[in-house]
Amino acid sequence: MNKADLLDRYVGSPIYGMAPEHRLAIVLVAATVMAAGILLLGARRQHPPAVRIVERYRALPSLYRFAAWLLAIVSAMNLGMGLGRLAGPGTWLIAVGIAEAAILRRLLTGRSWRWPLASVTVVALTVNLGLAVAGITVDQVGFLTALLEATVLAVVLRTVEGGRLRRLAASIVVVGAVGFTTLASWGGAVVAGLGGEKLGETPLPGVLLPKGTNRPPTPREQELADRFWRDTAAAIARYEDVAVAAADGYLVEAIVGSEFHAENPRYKSDGILLDPARPETLVYEETPDGPVLLGAMYEMEEIGDEGPMFAGPITVWHAHDHICFGVLPPAITGFESPLGACPLLSVSFPVTNEMMHVWTIPGVDDPYTELDEEVLDTYLEHRRTGP
């Protein structure tokens, strides 16, 4: 498969991408930069309005000139995003964009601009929070806009007059603004992606689903899914004993935490697919009474290979993107931040091979999707207290 086509086959969380309706924001930023160029040209040709604006700009100290550029860009981005989605949050974004343009005008004309800017930034951050609560994912364009707004806020707050405590408080506000924006971004993405496991749904951050449209399964597909589940449950029951799993090559020496994935390196490269007797990975839960087997995970060997949906919309495979893989020690360390980085000593994998879980514990409505935490808790409680 052509590598460039690989990711086009999937739907991922918007937190790592750009919503199509935000393309106008990019166009407006480009137009803003061109307008600045035209202004400079006009000043060189001694057109009085252009001369006035450029002279005022050049009279500003470096930090305020930097702030002027940022204000122009974020104003264009907010206007572009707002015009791209006129219903709901679009109105707020347009209002913020117009306010930021007005503040830029105040900056260039020597009027008070710092506290109006701080106020508008608070409104902008509140809009971000509202989007998160409403389950609207802030995409990369929105997140970049918020970061640039936090940077302009830093210009205002870091140059505040006063003692050390006041300056420290101002610094904490800026650090908090960046952290708050990041948290809101995650929150919106998680709310939007919760339960997104079927074709046509929005997945959680870090999950890729094949493009397609969901539909009810046929009776034959349901029968195939049920049979495969029974076969898997029967075949892996012996791996409740981790010693048996270890003897067959599963890496069960250090089972920690919830839904620990114990791989079998031999089965991951044996060329055999969907064999209940040889699943590539077993999934365990760490408990005070020892590891508890939750199910199996089947995997495609190569990145880009499509998992066979043998039972139609029931058996949907998924891949992961923007996954952080630590090098010391080798382990998954999380998902890439919307800020675009993984923890130190980790690298970001853009895409993994496809995989499919089969949960074998009793009480699971759909054993091929995400494990329900309530069902898991009930099962573990039942095991703890006995029949």
Partner 1 sequence: MDASHPSLDGPVAVASLLLFVQGAIAVALASEAVGAAIAFGGAPAPGAILTVAGAVATLVLAGRVRGHRRSTRRWILAFEIGWIVLAAVDLLLATFLADRGLTPVGFAVRMALPGAIIWSLRRPAAKVAFGIGEAADGQTEFPDRAQVPA
Contacts with partner 1, residue ranges (CB under 8 A): 3-4, 6-7, 16-18, 60-64, 66, 140-141, 143-144, 147, 150-151, 154-155, 158-161, 171, 174-175, 177-179, 182, 256-257, 303, 322, 324, 326, 328-329, 331-351
The residue among 222 and 352 lying less far from partner 1, judged by its C-beta, is 352
CB 148 within 8 A of CB 176: no
Amino acid at 10: Y
CB of 384 to partner 1, least distance (A): 20
Separation in Å, CA 60 to CA 53, 289, 364: 11, 68, 65
- The SS3 call for residue 183 is helix
d(CA 204, CA 196): 7
Give the rounded distance of the alpha carbon of 47 from its chain centre.
48
Q: What's the min distance (Å) between Cβ of 270 and partner 1?
A: 23
Q: Which two tokens stand for residue 318?
A: 């998924």
End-to-end CA distance of the chain: 52
List, in sequence order, every residue forming a beta bridge with 323; answer none if it has no partner: 335, 349
Q: What is the distance between the alpha carbons of residues 129 and 127, in angstroms, rounded to a whole number?
A: 5
Cβ of residue 22: shortest distance to partner 1, in angstroms? Answer: 11
Tokens representing 248 are 């067959």
Q: How far is the CB of 171 from partner 1 (least distance, A)?
A: 7
Q: Are 336 and 322 in contact (CB under 8 A)?
A: yes
How far apart CA 56 and CA 60 sit, in angstroms, is 7
Select 182 or 222, whichever has its Cβ closest to partner 1.
182
For partner 1, give the closer residue by CB, 308 or 334.
334
- Cβ nearer to partner 1, comparing 205 with 313: 205
Maximal CA-CA distance, the chain: 90
Complex with partner 1: residue 17 or 212, whichever CB lies closer: 17
d(CA 142, CA 46): 38
Least gap, CB of 322 to partner 1 (angstroms): 8
Closest separation between CB of residue 24 and partner 1, Å?
15
- Which one, 257 or 386, has the nearer CB to partner 1? 257
- Kindly state the DSSP code that residue 163 receives in the 8-state scheme: -
Considering beta carbons, is residue 157 or 233 the nearer one to partner 1? 157
Q: How far is the CB of 361 from partner 1 (least distance, A)?
A: 21
* Cβ neighbours around 65 below 10 Å, total: 14
Q: Measured from the CB of residue 387, what is the shortest distance to partner 1 in angstroms?
A: 30
Residue whose C-alpha is closest to residue 247's, from 257, 239, 256: 239
Sign of the CA dihedral with 169 first, then 67, 110, and 115 last? negative
Residue nearer to partner 1 on the CB measure, 115 or 310 = 115
